[in-house]
């Protein structure tokens, strides 16, 4: 049986670190409030970086890690809601930046923080159908460009970052075992950004600033409910139980949300990977960035069962179960 196997991972975060202490000078907040309520201590902020620029850096690293050359890639999917431009897609910029073969399909998908798992779902279907052999999947967002830096309810939560994987069509038991993606548009108003592009507008720019808007409490409850459900769906579908999971890599939104999922599944703390204390919520970048770190920290072993789960604006939610 042909499966999509993750052959390489990569990630990139901008150099600039924004600490909770610095935020105390920007909005009426405190390091104590932010760490207690979210678990976040600092995040990265893009200065001159663009979405396609950091996506390209993460992708380069993933290609190197997979020992795959750009001209072997036959599909590029980028998950982002903060693209450089409305069009062309960020994926087309990445294709050009990396010199990936002309004619290869490249497109973006929009599912906010669930974006990477949506992209993985699509890529998996291309691979299993035989349409693609080597796919570059990137999750990337620059939320610093759509944050209202006067709104303490949201500006403390997010950061910028990118992660990438290279998938290869391989025979055998290792690879993506399942993906499940869902949405409920009736809940769009709890988390949204009205319009926008990631490149900064001039003072006279005609595009409305697309500040992110969020109902924190409603979003928190929806996150716990949908991610809990998504984990159970993935386990049931594969006839697995929580004890079979070697590592859960959840969307890095809030330590308390992650804790609630951990308790629902009855997983010990050391089976959950978190890095949100250093990066905050990087939206579509969150899961592949955490995955790349987990790989580099030696947290994944061959044949381990790895569960990914995400939740985001839309509402969207998703899971993927992978045999590493
Ligand atoms: O990818 C998904 C993206 N979004 C999320 O995951 C967000 C999910 N929601 C959350 O993570 C939490 O709801 C928050 C961290 C946003 C808020 O935590 P909370 O425990 O739900 O706090 P709250 O909204 O109930 O606010 C409690 C208090 C309020 O003051 P009052 O009304 O009790 O006087 C807020 O005004 O905390 C206040 N507050 C703050 N205080 C200091 C809100 N933000 C801040 C802040 N610093 N940054």
Banded pLDDT at 205 (limits 50, 70, 90): low
Beta pairing class for 106-109 and 75-79: parallel
Q: How far is the CA of 283 from the centre of ligand 1 (A)?
A: 18
Q: Is 180 tagged catalytic?
A: no
Residue 85 φ/ψ region, left for φ over 0, alpha for ψ in the -120 to 50 degree band, beta for the rest: beta
pLDDT for 161-185, tens place per residue?
999 999 999 999 999 999 999 999 9
Q: Is 36 in the pocket of ligand 1 (CB under 6 A)?
A: no
Q: Is 215 in the pocket of ligand 1 (CB under 6 A)?
A: no
Q: How far is the CA of 217 from the centre of ligand 1 (A)?
A: 7
Of ligand 1's listed atoms, the one at least distance from the Cα of 219 is 8
Closest by CA to 163, choosing from 47, 69, 287, is 287
**CB-CB neighbours of 216 under 10 Å:** 14
Q: How far is the CA of 153 from the centre of ligand 1 (A)?
A: 6
Cα–Cα distance between 289 and 252 in angstroms, integer?
10
By alpha-carbon position, which residue is closest to atom 8 of ligand 1? 220
Partners of 77 in beta bridges: 107, 137
Cα–Cα distance between 2 and 220 in angstroms, integer?
38
Q: How far is the CA of 262 from the centre of ligand 1 (A)?
A: 21
Q: Are 299 and 272 in contact (CB under 8 A)?
A: no
Q: Which of 35, 115, 220 for a ligand 1 pocket mutation test, highest count of atoms within 8 Å of Cβ?
A: 220
By alpha-carbon position, which residue is closest to atom 16 of ligand 1? 216
Q: Is 113 tagged catalytic?
A: yes
Q: Which of 113, 182, 231, 254 is catalytic?
A: 113
Q: Are 318 and 223 in contact (CB under 8 A)?
A: no
Residue 313 φ/ψ region, left for φ over 0, alpha for ψ in the -120 to 50 degree band, beta for the rest: beta
Q: Which of 20, 182, 231, 251 is catalytic?
A: 251
Q: Which two tokens stand for residue 252?
A: 């890095």
For residues 198-220, average pLDDT: 73
* pLDDT above 80 for 198: no
Q: Which pTM was predicted?
A: 0.95
Q: Is 312 in the pocket of ligand 1 (CB under 6 A)?
A: yes
Q: At what angle do helices 286-296 and 115-129 cross, to 10 degrees?
A: 80
Q: Which residues contact 36 (CB under 8 A, 6 or more apart)?
A: none
By alpha-carbon position, which residue is closest to atom 20 of ligand 1? 37
Q: How far is the CA of 220 from the centre of ligand 1 (A)?
A: 9
Q: Which residue has the tokens 């025979």?
A: 171
Q: Which of 22, 34, 37 for a ligand 1 pocket mutation test, highest count of atoms within 8 Å of Cβ?
A: 37
Partners of 179 in beta bridges: 320
**What's the 3-state SS for the chain?**
CEEEEEEEEEEECCCCEEEHHHHHCCCCCCHHHHHHHHCCCEEECCCCCCHHHHHHHHHHHHHHHHCCCHHHCCEEEEECCCCCCCCCCHHHHHHHHHCCCCCCCEEEECCHHHHHHHHHHHHHHHHHHCCCCEEEEEEEEEHHHCCCCCCHHHHCCECEEEEEEEEEEEECCCEEEEEEEEECHHHHHHEECCCCCCCCCCCCCCCCCCCCEECHHHHHHHHHHHHHHHHHHHHHHCCCCHHHCCEEEECCCCHHHHHHHHHHHCCCHHHECCCHHHHCECHHHHHHHHHHHHHHCCCCCCCCEEEEEEEECCCEEEEEEEEC
- Whole-number pLDDT of residue 194: 83
Q: Is 281 tagged catalytic?
A: yes
Q: Is 113 in the pocket of ligand 1 (CB under 6 A)?
A: yes
Q: How far is the CA of 216 from the centre of ligand 1 (A)?
A: 6
* Mean pLDDT for the chain overall: 95
pLDDT for 228-287, tens place per residue?
999 999 999 999 999 999 999 999 999 999 999 999 999 999 999 999 999 999 999 999
Q: Is 250 in the pocket of ligand 1 (CB under 6 A)?
A: no
pLDDT for 182-195, tens place per residue?
999 999 999 999 86
Banded pLDDT at 221 (limits 50, 70, 90): very high
């Amino acid at each position: 049986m042909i499966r999509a196997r993750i052959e390489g991972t990569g990630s990139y975060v901008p150099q600039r670190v924004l600490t909770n202490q610095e935020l105390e000078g920007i909005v009426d907040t405190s390091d104590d409030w932010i760490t207690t309520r979210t678990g976040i201590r600092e995040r990265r902020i893009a200065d001159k970086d663009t979405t396609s620029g950091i996506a390209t850096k993460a992708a380069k690293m993933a290609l190197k890690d997979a020992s795959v050359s750009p001209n072997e890639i036959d599909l590029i999917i980028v998950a982002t809601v903060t693209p450089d431009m409305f069009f062309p897609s960020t994926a087309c910029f990445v294709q050009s930046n990396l010199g990936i073969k002309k004619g290869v399909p490249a497109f973006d998908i929009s599912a906010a923080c669930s974006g990477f798992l949506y992209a993985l779902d699509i890529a998996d279907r291309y691979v299993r159908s035989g349409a693609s052999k080597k796919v570059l999947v990137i999750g990337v967002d620059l939320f610093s460009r759509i944050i209202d830096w006067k709104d303490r309810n949201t500006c403390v939560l997010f950061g910028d970052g990118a992660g990438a994987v290279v998938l290869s069509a391989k025979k055998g038991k290792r690879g993506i075992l399942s993906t499940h993606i869902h949405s409920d548009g009736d809940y769009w108003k709890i988390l949204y950004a009205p319009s926008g592009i990631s490149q900064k507008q001039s003072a006279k720019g005609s595009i409305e600033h697309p500040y992110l808007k969020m109902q924190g409490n409603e979003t928190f409850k929806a996150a716990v409910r949908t991610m809990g459900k998504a984990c159970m769906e993935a386990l049931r579908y594969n006839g697995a139980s929580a004890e079979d999971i070697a590592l859960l890599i959840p969307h890095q939104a809030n330590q308390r949300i992650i804790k609630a999922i951990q308790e629902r599944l009855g997983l010990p703390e050391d089976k959950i990977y978190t890095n949100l204390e250093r990066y905050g919520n990087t939206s579509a970048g969150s899961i592949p960035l955490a995955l790349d770190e987990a790989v580099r920290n030696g947290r994944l072993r061959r044949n381990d069962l790895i569960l990914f789960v995400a939740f985001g604006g839309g509402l969207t939610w998703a899971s993927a179960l992978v045999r590493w």
